[in-house]
Structure 1
Amino acid sequence: MEYVLTLMGRDQSDDLVDFSIELLQTQTVALSACTTLVSIEPRLPMETRNRVMKATLGFFALPTEPSNIVESLITNLIILLGAILLTSGEDGRSRAEQLLHILRQLDPYVSASAEHQRRRGCVAVHEVLVKFRNLCSGGFGASGSYPTLSLKHIDQGGPRGSSSLPSAFVLPNRDSLSLGERIMAYLPRCADTDDEVRKVAIQIIALFFNISLSLPKQKTSANDIDLESSYGALSSLEDIVSIIRRASVDQIEVFHRVVSSVCILLSKDELVVLLHSCTLAACDKVKQSADGSIQAIIVFIIRRGKDLREADVLRTTQSLLSSAIALTDKHSRQEVLNAVSIIIFLCLSFSILIFISRIIPTSSYYL
């Protein structure tokens, strides 16, 4: 493995230093070799797998040319990430931890300013999620092999119920998916300027909830989720996925439908985490995505504001004000402040007078 990693072409700062065709071809083969070494027994320790990821994820930032070689290299990299997930542990909890580790490493590419990086990041997220779902549903064979899956397709086979799944003992629970954080990371891409990014991002969100509804829930949150409403919202999401594959549809309408479904599918705790982590989404590098995220946040506050506690409202407002400080576009900043005003109105409705005394002096500075 040490020898293979030397073929990745990095200097001491971990930057790619050579884009020659010969090296790119060598690195493509090296990635394939890494996948083999990660997959065989005895399994590599976690530290080594993480070193492999650190040495290879930078390939997502490669330029688009020469396209045939670079695309082959990116495909091999995504296959490697799937192999790392597959060998990450024996139970659902450890695999869920590895899943989140991989997804968080992909976040810079998912939210990059370059369209080709966002496409690659979203495709990688989708593929890793498909493999994770197959793990949860027993879709992998004893040999560790996995089926070839399309980069642009969600396999919707199999029932949503838990009857076809392994026992709950080996499954992660829903909380281990960090849905609030993850959905907020991908929601801006559903309003992206790139059509392919939008389509894959919507598939990612649908797949996240498809997985989550098959997993056991913590006792404290089990009564927080209306299964009938959730399955209806998931069906709506899956309908959207089906529609956008077949035809050109109104982008704004699709985004609104996605936001409406997500608003229903999130538990109270997941909604709170999503709103707490809204700053990056509201300041997304793509203005259209940032504006879409702000509108989604406003919808969440209006429709689910009653689920927020005083501390949740305060922290969400602080996150929004941080966004307002960071934003340079006047229209986007005003939309964020509109969200703050809606929260203040909710506070009036809830008679949270102490909160208002804290917020009005701060928000009036921006108004």
Structure 2
Amino acid sequence: MYGYAARYAPSTVIEARINALVGTDMLGRFLHVQHPTAKQAVITAIDLLGRAVISAAEIGISFPLQRRDQLLEYVLTLMGRDQSDDLVDFSIELLQTQTVALSACTTLVSIEPRLPMETRNRVMKATLGFFALPTEPSNIVESLITNLIILLGAILLTSGEDGRSRAEQLLHILRQLDPYVSASAEHQRRRGCVAVHEVLVKFRNLCSGGFGASGSYPTLSLKHIDQGGPRGSSSLPSAFVLPNRDSLSLGERIMAYLPRCADTDDEVRKVAIQIIALFFNISLSLPKQKTSANDIDLESSYGALSSLEDIVSIIRRASVDQIEVFHRVVSSVCTLLSKDELVVLLHSCTLAACDKVKQSADGSIQAIIVFIIRRGKDLREADVLRYHA
């Protein structure tokens, strides 16, 4: 009732209604409810408060949600997860509560005030472990994972101030997903790769749609929450607010996903190839630092990217030779990497060569050999030592 009172209040009194409900800490009194239906009701009330703020902004009444971070804490408490990553209760009722909670978290992180780093880390620590859930009951678990991926996209869209900080946020999220991308369990690798792909798509949309100027905070509408569209565009030139290519850490990131292109799971292979194509698609649209601009042959790069995108198109509609596809991916990557990115990739290859999936480890070793044979002549000892850590 409290949530609906705010959600459907007249636009002129929404802020006052929400302030009254949150300010009296009425919702905080319900943190100790035990029944799943009661927990879901409280979480839904909090979600409705957030959606009321979004709806008001859509008609020109913008205001922050008071004590938003505290409401996030309420949701995480009611979700039933502690600070550990242990998943010991797979009951249907709890999974349903957690699914509703993830949706509420998405709403709350999508509105002002901007998500502080501490709160972002708290939300991610409490939720990323869901990627390790078993596959059954499939319908509920799949819905929960979908909501988790949507939440990660919302965190990317709302916790940065400009292109550079969003790129940092992107890398933070992707690195947190690495354990699932390289997990021994196939379903975890699938989930991890799908999450990486969806977050990258949202980042690409930001690059093409425009990053807000530093300090701006346009409100994210419900439509944008669902579709991951950009929250607004800046009147400033795109080069002013875009991150540069170096901020993507391409060498490190490509090495994280290359083993999955040789994975034993067909879906993982397909998504991994799309991830690599997306990374280079984004990178070629970003400004380059002067020191590395002359190191990239644009004509060759666009040719290699075109080849990669052809592979993506082919694997979506036809069954193709897995070994041939992997060789073509490696060949394209070899051309697309700058010299500095190649050096970082080679320094990042240990985990790939020791991948938990033998087929992926073998493929990674083959790729490293190709990189050294084809690009080794471009590297000097000083280049390698510069990145040696």
Q: TM-score range with shorter-chain normalisation?
A: 0.7 to 0.9
Deviations 1:9-56 (A, max 9, x none): 334534223110000000000000000000012222121012101100
Inter-partner Cα distance in structure 2 for 1:246 and 1:268: 34
Deviations 1:289-318 (A, max 9, x none): 000000000000000001222255579xxx
Deviations 1:223-269 (A, max 9, x none): 00000000000000000000000100000000000000000000000
CA contact (8 A) 2:157 2:230 kept: no
Alignment of 1:225-236 (within 5 A): 225-236=296-307
CA contact (8 A) 1:160 1:213 kept: no
Deviations 1:169-210 (A, max 9, x none): 100000000000000000000000000000000000000000
TM-score (norm 2): 0.74
1:146 equivalent in alignment to 2:217: yes
1:292 match: 363
CA contact (8 A) 2:153 2:202 kept: yes
CA contact (8 A) 1:9 1:17 kept: no
CA contact (8 A) 1:230 1:265 kept: yes
Inter-partner Cα distance in structure 1 for 2:148 and 2:129: 10
CA 84–159 in structure 1, closer or farther in 2 if over 3 Å, else same: closer
CA 248–184 in structure 1, closer or farther in 2 if over 3 Å, else same: same
CA 157–240 in structure 1, closer or farther in 2 if over 3 Å, else same: farther
CA contact (8 A) 1:140 1:146 kept: no
CA contact (8 A) 2:163 2:242 kept: yes
Aligned residues: 318
CA contact (8 A) 2:131 2:192 kept: yes
Deviations 1:115-157 (A, max 9, x none): 0000000000000000001011117999999999999999999
CA 74–139 in structure 1, closer or farther in 2 if over 3 Å, else same: farther
CA contact (8 A) 2:249 2:341 kept: yes
CA 94–115 in structure 1, closer or farther in 2 if over 3 Å, else same: same
Measure how far apart 1:99 and its partner are: 0.1
Let me know the Cα RMSD of the aligned residues: 5.1
CA contact (8 A) 2:161 2:213 kept: no
2:342 match: 271
Measure how far apart 1:166 and its partner are: 5.0
1:366 equivalent in alignment to 2:388: yes
CA contact (8 A) 1:234 1:261 kept: yes
CA contact (8 A) 1:134 1:140 kept: no
Inter-partner Cα distance in structure 2 for 1:154 and 1:311: 47
CA contact (8 A) 1:130 1:154 kept: no
Inter-partner Cα distance in structure 2 for 1:76 and 1:145: 27
CA 49–171 in structure 1, closer or farther in 2 if over 3 Å, else same: same
SS at match of 1:64: coil
CA 247–10 in structure 1, closer or farther in 2 if over 3 Å, else same: same
Measure how far apart 1:60 and its partner are: 0.2
CA contact (8 A) 1:110 1:121 kept: yes
CA contact (8 A) 1:86 1:144 kept: no
CA 162–146 in structure 1, closer or farther in 2 if over 3 Å, else same: closer
More divergent stretch after superposition (21-30 vs 157-166): 157-166
Give 1:23's match in structure 2, choosing from 94, 100, 112: 94
CA 151–191 in structure 1, closer or farther in 2 if over 3 Å, else same: farther
CA contact (8 A) 2:295 2:338 kept: yes
Deviations 1:332-357 (A, max 9, x none): xxxxxxxxxxxxxxxxxxxxxxxxxx
CA contact (8 A) 1:172 1:216 kept: yes
Inter-partner Cα distance in structure 2 for 1:42 and 1:101: 20
CA 149–33 in structure 1, closer or farther in 2 if over 3 Å, else same: closer
Measure how far apart 1:7 and its partner are: 2.8
CA 291–148 in structure 1, closer or farther in 2 if over 3 Å, else same: farther
CA contact (8 A) 2:162 2:212 kept: no
CA 265–143 in structure 1, closer or farther in 2 if over 3 Å, else same: closer
1:190 match: 261
CA 134–108 in structure 1, closer or farther in 2 if over 3 Å, else same: same
CA contact (8 A) 2:210 2:233 kept: no
CA contact (8 A) 1:188 1:290 kept: yes
Measure how far apart 1:88 and its partner are: 1.8
Q: Percent identity?
A: 99
SS at match of 2:291: coil
2:133 match: 62
CA 126–205 in structure 1, closer or farther in 2 if over 3 Å, else same: same
CA 143–30 in structure 1, closer or farther in 2 if over 3 Å, else same: farther
CA contact (8 A) 1:168 1:216 kept: yes
CA 68–142 in structure 1, closer or farther in 2 if over 3 Å, else same: farther
More divergent stretch after superposition (46-55 vs 19-28): 46-55
CA 265–84 in structure 1, closer or farther in 2 if over 3 Å, else same: same
CA 272–143 in structure 1, closer or farther in 2 if over 3 Å, else same: closer
Inter-partner Cα distance in structure 2 for 1:91 and 1:366: 31
CA 193–257 in structure 1, closer or farther in 2 if over 3 Å, else same: same
Gap regions ≥5 residues in structure 2: 1-71
Q: Considering only CA atoms, is the larger Rg found in Structure 1 or Structure 2?
A: 2
SS at match of 1:78: helix
Inter-partner Cα distance in structure 2 for 1:154 and 1:245: 27
